[in-house]
Amino acid sequence: MANGPARPDGEQPDRAGSARDVQLSSRCPLCNTAFQPTGAEILDESQQGILFHLTCPSCRSSLLAVVAASKLGLSSFGMVTDLTALDVRRLRKSPAITQEDVLKAFEEIDALKGTFGNTHQHDSHGKHFAHR
């Protein structure tokens, strides 16, 4: 597929009618510029679908998208992200965050209370109030 997304291994598709054969024609959700199919980077491919990373050629925002084939046809969904393709690859190899990790992070943040000096905030009407 000459116009399709670049595969990390450089191989051509081997399954006719697969999710890989879909021409990416989505637009950037932030600036409405058409994504370039050759700019899509395949991050993962399985029987369930293909995970792509796209970068808008205009505003440089990033999108993670999944295209999946089923008996009912093709479906896709995506989300805007600040992750690069390299970030996604690295994070997919990381262990999952546990409840213990979240609790530890909360406790560390909670212990920082008051270490940032006098913090004042504004209410919805622009009036100052002290954060307690």
Domain spans in the chain, listed from the N-terminal domain onward = 19-94
Structure pTM? Answer: 0.57
- Walk along the chain (132 residues) and give the pLDDT tens digit of each residue: 344 454 445 544 444 445 555 555 578 888 998 888 788 899 999 888 999 999 998 999 999 999 998 888 888 888 999 999 999 999 999 999 999 999 999 999 988 887 765 555 556 665 655 554
What residue type is 117 in one-letter code? G
Render 30-66 in DSSP notation, one character per residue.
TT-PBPPGGG-EEEEEETTEEEEEEE-TTT--EEEEE
Which of 75, 76, 51 minimizes the C-alpha distance to 64? 51
Which of 80, 89, 33, 84 minimizes the C-alpha distance to 56? 33
